């Protein structure tokens, strides 16, 4: 593993790019002052892995629908109709997601850890900050596997092309008091604007929904509600289903009546559920990109206990081959059912830090970044850019 020090921060470059909003105290504190050097063949392998894995996830999603295995995945029953509606209509494009992968460097094989298909973050760091970091240090910013912004823009252009009956108006929503989410939403809004959308932002608790008319935003300048035909929400589908069942009923009717397109579509919850790891192992046993997964600890193998819906390493336990606990992380998702995935060691540097690759997928694999942390990659992990040479 080769790390290269970068002494100059990307702040000036970000301002020159017009990305001043990326400079808030909550968006950059965990950027490391190093980049990980990888080879062109390693970068290609990450891209090929993500492209192949997405096709496998689509097949697994179709299997779940065909065999009615929603309950096993922990899918709330009030979301099933909306999932089917969005799955059966190709106009409901999966906008983007992030594959978390082990291996890929130092000769270690690439293995799927999970797919953050619904509300993936780390977009600004991957798409903009690591690019600006290279530029600030006089390096060739083209020497990265990083076309996230351009590819995301292309996804929005495709959305317009396949939905000509809708107006190119997009409302972007996140939850209040989560600055990291605001930065991710801002980048998505920039890509949408580049593609030709008129964009507005409002926190989800201020958005108005009508099963008969659609989705509305209050224009503070005119004090009037305006209808928007596309809605992006950086809010987990399972949280909405559990906490706002009436809203799910309304959104189902909105989609059924073609009043709006919602991003990411409800069917992405099939990919987000960790139970899909077990489905994948059933469909593709011993596939070189997969790790064994089951609903009970794996006999005679070290494994990782995960909750079906958890984020940022919360409620993860690593178990030794004899079933004893090696380490664990607390969290707020402990009430969800568990899944067990074969343990694999992440690449490690001389200081003992582990590295998990994140490959963004937006219709195709489009960008790479690394999280650096301990045995469990959690919300304390740092972000490490990369250099392809």
Over the stretch 316-371, which tens digit does the pLDDT of each residue have?
A: 999 999 999 999 988 888 888 999 999 999 999 999 999 999 999 999 999 999 99
Mean pLDDT, residues 92-112: 97
Question: Do the beta carbons of residue 98 and residue 75 sit within 8 Å?
Answer: no
Burial readout 163-197 (b: 16 or more C-beta within 10 A, e: otherwise): beebebbbbbbbeeebebbbbbbbbbbbbbeebeb
CA distances from 350 to 82, 309, 353, 377 (A): 48, 33, 8, 17
Percentages (nearest 5) of helix, strand, coil residues in the chain: 35, 25, 40
Run of H or E residues at 188: helix 179-195
Run of H or E residues at 182: helix 179-195
Q: Tokens at residue 112, please?
A: 């799927």
β-pairing verdict for 382-388 and 31-38 = parallel
Domains of the chain: which residue ranges? Answer: 2-273+347-388, 292-342
Over the stretch 303-319, which tens digit does the pLDDT of each residue have?
999 999 987 778 999 99
Rg of the chain on CA atoms, in Å: 21
Q: Tokens at residue 311, please?
A: 């984020």
DSSP string, 229-287: SEEEE-S-HHHHHHH-HHHHHHHHHHHHTTS-EEES-TTHHHHHSTTHHHHHHHHSTT-
Over the stretch 182-230, which tens digit does the pLDDT of each residue have?
889 999 999 999 999 999 999 999 999 999 999 999 998 899 999 999 9
Over the stretch 62-91, which tens digit does the pLDDT of each residue have?
999 999 999 999 999 999 999 999 999 999
Residue 26: per-residue pLDDT: 52
Residue 179: per-residue pLDDT: 73
Q: What are the CB-based long-range contacts (under 8 Å, 24+) for 288-293?
A: 288/109, 289/49, 289/52, 289/53, 289/56, 289/110, 289/111, 289/112, 290/111, 290/112, 291/111, 291/112, 291/113, 291/341, 291/342, 291/344, 292/341, 292/342, 293/339, 293/340, 293/341, 293/342
CA distance 176 to 310: 20
Over the stretch 29-46, which tens digit does the pLDDT of each residue have?
467 789 999 999 999 999
Beta bridge pairs of residue 338: 307
- Strand spans (E) along the chain: 2-5, 31-38, 97-102, 111-116, 169-173, 198-201, 208-210, 214-219, 224-228, 230-233, 261-263, 293-294, 303-307, 317-319, 325-328, 338-342, 354-361, 365-373, 382-388
Q: How many CB atoms lie within 10 A of CB 62?
A: 12
CA 149 to chain centre: 14
20 pLDDT exceeds 70? Answer: no
CA 308 to chain centre: 15
Q: Is the dihedral of CA 73, 53, 264, 27 positive or negative?
A: positive
The angle subtended at Cα 254 by Cα 253 and Cα 260, nearest 5°, is 160
């Amino acid at each position: 593993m080769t790390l290269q020090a970068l002494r100059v921060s990307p702040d000036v470059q970000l301002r020159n790019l017009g990305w001043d909003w990326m400079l808030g105290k909550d968006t950059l504190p965990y950027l490391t002052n190093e980049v990980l050097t990888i080879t062109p063949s390693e970068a290609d392998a990450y891209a090929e892995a993500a492209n192949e894995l997405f096709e496998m996830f689509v097949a697994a999603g179709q299997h779940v629908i065909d065999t009615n295995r929603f309950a096993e995945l922990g899918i709330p029953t009030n979301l099933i109709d909306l999932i089917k509606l969005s799955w059966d209509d190709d106009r409901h494009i999966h906008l983007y997601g992030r594959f978390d992968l082990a291996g890929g460097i130092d000769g270690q094989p690439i293995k799927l850890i999970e797919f953050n298909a619904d509300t993936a973050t780390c977009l600004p760091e991957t798409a903009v900050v690591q690019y600006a970091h290279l530029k600030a240090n006089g390096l060739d910013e083209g020497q990265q596997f990083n076309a996230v912004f351009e590819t995301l823009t292309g996804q929005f252009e495709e959305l317009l092309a396949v939905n000509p009956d809708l107006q190119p108006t997009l409302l972007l929503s996140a939850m209040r008091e989560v600055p990291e989410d605001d930065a991710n939403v801002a980048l998505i809004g920039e890509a949408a604007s580049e593609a030709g959308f008129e964009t507005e932002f409002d926190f989800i608790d201020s958005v108005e929904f009508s099963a008969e008319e659609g989705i509305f935003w209050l224009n503070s300048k005119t004090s009037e509600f305006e209808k928007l035909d596309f809605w992006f929400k950086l809010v987990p589908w399972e949280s909405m289903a559990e906490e706002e069942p009436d809203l799910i009923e309304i959104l189902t009717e909105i989609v059924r009546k073609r009043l709006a397109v919602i991003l990411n579509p409800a069917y992405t919850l099939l990919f987000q559920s960790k139970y899909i790891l077990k489905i994948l192992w059933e469909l593709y046993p011993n596939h070189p990109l997969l790790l064994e997964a089951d609903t009970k600890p794996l006999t005679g193998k070290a494994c990782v206990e995960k909750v079906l819906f958890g984020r940022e390493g919360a409620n993860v336990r690593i178990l030794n081959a004899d079933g004893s606990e090696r380490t664990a992380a607390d969290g707020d998702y402990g009430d969800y059912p568990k899944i067990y995935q074969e343990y694999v060691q992440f690449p490690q540097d001389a200081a003992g830090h582990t590295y998990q690759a994140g490959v963004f997928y937006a219709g195709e694999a489009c960008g790479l970044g690394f999280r650096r942390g301990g045995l469990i990659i959690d919300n304390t992990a740092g972000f490490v850019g990369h250099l392809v040479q």
